[in-house]
Amino acid sequence: MIWLTNTHYHPHYPTISHLGSKHPTKPTSTSRLSSSFNPTQSLASSYRSFTMGPPAIIAPSILSADFGSLGAACSGLMDNDSDWIHVDIMDGHFVPNITFGPPVVSKIRTHVQRPTCAGGKGTFDCHMMIAEVPTPFRFLRIPMPQPQKWAKEFKDAGCDLYCFHYEAAVESTAAKEPSDNTTTEKTSPKELIRYIHELGMQAGIAIKPETSVNVLWDILENKEAIERPDMVLVMTVNPGFGGQKFMASELPKVQALRAKYPDMNIEVDGGLGVGTIDQAADAGANVIVAGSAVFGAQNPAEVIAKLREAVEKRRRS
């Protein structure tokens, strides 16, 4: 179930999709939500104020967890006051590593209570590092990992926020003047965002360090609200592996986004921890992905609290 206003897109959740937005909301059916859900409550309302920008959201990446006990790791994150679970989906093509598929997401979803509002506690933030793979012959069209083809499967598995890469959505060997026997299916980022919203998920769009933030302006300024993302993810490492060094050189992208969109969720991912969080928070990031810093800590709850406080301190300043 979806509905639109003349200013903003809403999926079936009865809350705002850009946390901190001042646009009006409209309650919808709560049949798919928990019995304790209050239709007038949003995630932003549980924080001091959203006139200061969107609240801190801590989304530890389970890429750094023990893969032999992912379910326990996810429930432990919730017990340690995490907001979201960041699930890195890698296909071995867009990035060299391979991680989880829908069956794994479906299993670990059972260990974490579903969010009762858009972007609420327990959100599965699926970072889709997958791309279209060209087939060698025009007559051979084998389904390959691509952002749009996998959206419904991950929705059914328990994904709440489907964040795809801009580079994967526009990647096409056609742009590189391929030979006549190469086939690709180019995907429009706006069409993909629309499709994700129609499935009932929030939509995010990510950019690699090599990609200019300027490629996003046309998408973010789209007059069709249903084709605008709910979140932008700025990578502060090259995607594909955890434990990499933080790239502060990417923070001007965050600053530019925050200057134009004070109420939008802006996520940073890569090399974040207690030693680097202040830089990311000062730039304007509010959704913080941390893997090694959380799972490698003796006291994960303390690390999560410090990450949150850095973002909240910036909001209060």
Q: List active site positions.
A: 88, 269
Please report, to the nearest 10 degrees, the dihedral formed by the alpha carbons of residues 191, 258, 159, 186 taken in order: 30
DSSP 258-270: HHH-TTSEEEEES
Write out the two tokens for 214. Answer: 């300027």
DSSP one-letter code for 181: T
Question: How, if at all, do strands 9-10 and 57-58 pair?
Answer: unpaired
Give the tokens for residue 129: 């590092």
In terms of Cβ atoms closer than 10 Å to its own Cβ (0-12, 13-18, 19+), residue 137 is exposed
**What's at 153, amino acid-wise?**
E
SS3 state of residue 148 = helix
Distance, first Cα to last Cα, the chain: 39
Residue 129, helix vs strand vs coil: strand
Helix (H) or strand (E) holding 15: none
> Which amino acid does the sequence have at 141?
R
Q: Which residues of 196-210 are buried (b: 16+ CB within 10 A; e: fewer)?
A: bbebebbbbbbbbee
Q: Report the phi/psi class of residue 246: left, alpha or beta, with left for phi > 0 and alpha for psi in -120 to 50.
A: beta
Of 315, 306, 251, the C-alpha closest to 279 is: 251
In Å, what is the CA distance from 304 to each residue of 59, 79, 80, 136, 290?
9, 11, 8, 47, 9
Cα–Cα distance for residue pair 63/99, rounded to 1 Å: 8
